[in-house]
């Protein structure tokens, strides 16, 4: 679980983020998100606005982005919401970072299917590079957290790094991905298994074989 306590509110934090305001691009996106909801329900856009704010902070800090309390207050003002309501959302969802993070946020799934398929080795690969749970490496490149199931169990083990998932990992494949990111390159996302496209069976099809060529109706064959 990622750090769920907010960064302390200090004069330095206020000095850096107290004047936070949208850049034009994020202002346009925020306006569009708010406009999706009926009159009186604009607060429903709170998750979108927190996400946009985190991304703008990321652009300004060359990191994945996070939510300093003055930025959370800014979002509250944008939606005429009590700050505590916005804070409740930000602290509940782990997609929101509450403390500064690195350029890349490496979230390794350690739940049972990933664990059975080798997530301990993926974690060890990260630790060899100085990553430790809940911390950012000294060079500011990596923030590491272990997380619960992210819904890619069929291509376990997997990690999410910023907005992308990398699946069917081995220590060697994980090393190659981290090396590419460190060089500023964009590695192939999704499954890393050669010849596999998404989460289709890794070997020959063993179930629902009649569905290969057509949308076969199995219901008449049920006992």
Contact 97, 64 (CB under 8 A): yes
What is the token pair recorded at 59? 């652009």
126 is in an annotated binding site: no
String marking each residue 194-213 x if it binds ligand FES according to CB under 6 A: --------------------
Instruction: Examine residue 108 and tell whether it contacts ligand FES (CB under 6 A).
Output: no
Separation in Å, CA 128 to CA 71, 137, 141, 171, 178: 34, 12, 14, 11, 12
Interacting residue with ligand FES among 44, 91, 111, 170 (CB under 6 A): 111
For residue 16, give every residue at least 6 positions away whose Cβ sits within 8 Å of its Cβ, in sequence order, or none: 68
Among all chains, which residue has been given the structure tokens 């997997």? Answer: 158
109 is in an annotated binding site: yes
Is the torsion defined by CA of 43, 53, 64, 85 positive or negative? negative
Instruction: Examine residue 125 and tell whether it contacts ligand FES (CB under 6 A).
Output: no
Interacting residue with ligand FES among 114, 123, 131, 174 (CB under 6 A): 114
String marking each residue 140-159 x if it binds ligand FES according to CB under 6 A: ---------xxxxx--x-x-
149 is in an annotated binding site: yes
What is the token pair recorded at 166? 């990398």
The binding site for [2Fe-2S] cluster comprises 109, 114, 149, 153
Residues near ligand FES (CB under 6 A) are 109, 111, 113-114, 149-153, 156, 158
């Amino acid at each position: 679980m990622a750090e769920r306590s907010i960064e302390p509110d200090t004069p330095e934090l206020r000095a850096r983020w107290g004047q936070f305001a949208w850049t034009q691009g994020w202002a346009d996106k925020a306006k569009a998100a708010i406009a999706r909801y009926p009159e009186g329900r604009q607060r429903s856009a709170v998750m979108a606005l927190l996400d946009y704010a985190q991304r703008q902070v990321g652009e300004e800090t060359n990191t994945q982005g996070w939510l300093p309390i003055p930025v959370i207050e800014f979002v509250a003002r944008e939606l005429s919401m009590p700050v505590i309501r916005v804070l409740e959302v930000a602290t509940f969802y782990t997609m929101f970072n509450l403390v500064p993070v690195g350029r890349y946020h490496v979230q390794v799934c350690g739940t049972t299917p990933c664990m059975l398929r080798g997530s301990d080795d993926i974690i060890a690969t990260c630790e060899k590079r100085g990553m430790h749970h809940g911390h950012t490496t000294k060079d500011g490149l990596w923030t590491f957290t272990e997380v619960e199931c992210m819904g890619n169990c069929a291509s376990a083990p997997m990690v999410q790094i910023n907005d992308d998932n990398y699946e069917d990992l081995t220590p060697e494949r994980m090393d190659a991905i981290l090396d590419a990111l460190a060089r500023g390159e964009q590695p192939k996302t999704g499954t890393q298994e050669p010849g596999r496209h998404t989460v289709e069976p890794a070997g020959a099809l063993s179930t629902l074989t009649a569905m290969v060529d057509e949308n076969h109706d199995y219901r008449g064959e049920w006992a």
